[in-house]
Amino acid sequence: MTDPILIVGAGQASIKAAETLRQKGYDGDLVLFGDEAFLPYQRPPLSKAYLKGEMDEERLFLRPEAYFEAAFVELRTRTSVTSIDPAAKSIALSDGTRLPYSSLLLATGTRARQIPLEGAALEGVFSLRTMADVAAIRASLNAAENVVILGGGYIGMEFAAVAAGLGKTVTVIEACRRVMERSVAPEISTYFQNLHRAHGVTLRLEQKVERLTGETTVTGAALGDGTQVPADLVLLAVGAVPVTELAQSAGLAVGSGITVDKYARTSAPGIYAAGDCTEFPSARYGRSIRLESVQNAIDQARIAAGSMLGETEAYDPVPWFWSDQYDAKLQIAALSSGYDRTEIEGDYDGGRFALRYFQGDRLLAVDTVNAPRDHMMARKLLARTGPDRDGTPANGTREAAA
């Protein structure tokens, strides 16, 4: 009897890998280990519909419990994988058990970035990455009047939209000159800044938080310019870091994420990785990239599952991503950096438009607001017009730390 395929992490990438293995005819033992308490779930609604209370748990779960039994996939939640022995082809669990594998997939995702900030451990200070985080936030969000958000990236701005919608006094503090600066053009930042201001959100741009104040519970944020912003709930939305410790301590190559090749193979035979935790070579962008997106988790996991079964399909996606803020849906197709001009088509003031990024005559990427058809067409076009094979550097959409 051959050893099972084991998957570490029970999130977006793991589910896709497990499902693909079964669809492609793998009928051996298959076990998913997840250190959270829940069925595998989608994270995007955690800062959108689920946070607002407009989506229930059942819809958050990627598959119902019955799926695992029907597909003969053993799901072990509340179980941490603590080490890998690549030479013995085995893993160890938090309870000390050792298990052999034929192939191993690392789909360990990211964790919220923690920053050395005085007051960060006070009650009322949160990060937003897990269902447990949402439960904790909800418990104090109802009573909170003043909400302060550190970081004007996607999660910070989505949280601001939800909190403003609940009638809270919301302040976003962002060190850069504009929100979402690392991934979108100034016109897109301006559009969303205006939208947030119209909903009463205060944006403190080019500002740093010196410390959070309070005795046991947070009461405010002291800014670099000497001002004090009152707060009874603070969200730290300052990015995420890939979970790579397991790979690192097993001696696998790790750069900005767990290093994989275009087939999602790590540097150790029989060990694969997919999703937020990886960095992979992109022929399209002429360099290694790390993405944090549902698209990447799903598509790379599918490639990893195929590779485990001996297929040789290469991974080189047109990255795409979305963000919902109020009634505006931002959709991003491809990475935009290296652009030298933009063009807007549609009704910018009316909130329905496409912004195209060009380098010379070459279309690099397209952002759309409330124009899903244009987004779909852009993805198709960008896939057809093909990779940027001249090696131009790029960064953008949901690339690491966006």
Question: Which residues here bind ligand FAD, judged by CB under 6 A?
Answer: 8-14, 33-36, 43-44, 46-47, 80-81, 107-109, 128-129, 155, 243, 246, 275-277, 292-295, 297, 321-323, 398
Is 392 in contact with 286 (CB distance < 8 Å)? yes
Residue 381, sorted as left (phi over 0), alpha (psi -120 to 50) or beta, turns out to be alpha
* Backbone angles phi and psi of 29, in degrees to 5: -70, 145
Q: Cβ of residue 227: shortest distance to ligand FAD, in angstroms?
A: 28
Of residues 58 and 390, the one with the C-beta less far from ligand FAD: 58
Residue type, 251: G
Min dist CB 367 to ligand FAD, Å, is 14
| Locus of tokens 């119902």 | 64
Smaller CB separation from ligand FAD, 35 or 316: 35
Residue type, 93: L
- Choice between 137 and 223, CB closer to ligand FAD: 137
With respect to ligand FAD, which residue has the nearer C-beta, 223 or 315?
Answer: 315
* Least gap, CB of 103 to ligand FAD (angstroms): 17
- Based on CB atoms, which residue is closest to ligand FAD, 14 or 368? 14
DSSP label at residue 79: -
What DSSP designation does 46 have?
A: G
Minimum CB–partner distance for residue 224 and ligand FAD (Å): 27
Q: Which residues of 198-236 are buried (b: 16+ CB within 10 A; e: fewer)?
A: eeebebbbebebbebbbeeebbbbbbeeeeebebbbbbb
Q: Minimum Å distance from CB 171 to ligand FAD?
A: 20
- What's the min distance (Å) between Cβ of 144 and ligand FAD? 18
Query: Nearer Cβ to ligand FAD, position 80 or 288?
Result: 80
DSSP assignment string, 327-341: TEEEEEES--TT--E
- Separation of alpha carbons 96 and 38, rounded Å: 22
